[in-house]
Amino acid sequence: MPTVMELYQLLPRTNCKKCGESTCMAFAVALLSRKKIYQNVRRSLK
């Protein structure tokens, strides 16, 4: 399983909030903890 930093480095790091999190780091943490995977994947496909 990747680390939070590995996931974070794959993100755009613009803190755009399109995913529903306040920062890209917060999104990486949410992904790693599996809290919002389905919700954010669906949102990004729109």
List phi, psi (to 5°) of 42.
-60, -45
Kindly list the distances between the CA atom of residue 34 and the CA atoms of 4, 38, in Å, as whole numbers in the listed order. Answer: 12, 9
Share of the chain above pLDDT 70, in %: 74
pLDDT in tens, 16-33: 999 899 999 999 998 888
Domain ranges of the chain: 4-45
Whether domain 4-45 has CATH 1.10.15.40: the reply is yes
Q: Is the pLDDT of residue 38 over 90?
A: no
Q: Model-level pTM greater than 0.85?
A: no
Mean pLDDT of 1-13: 92
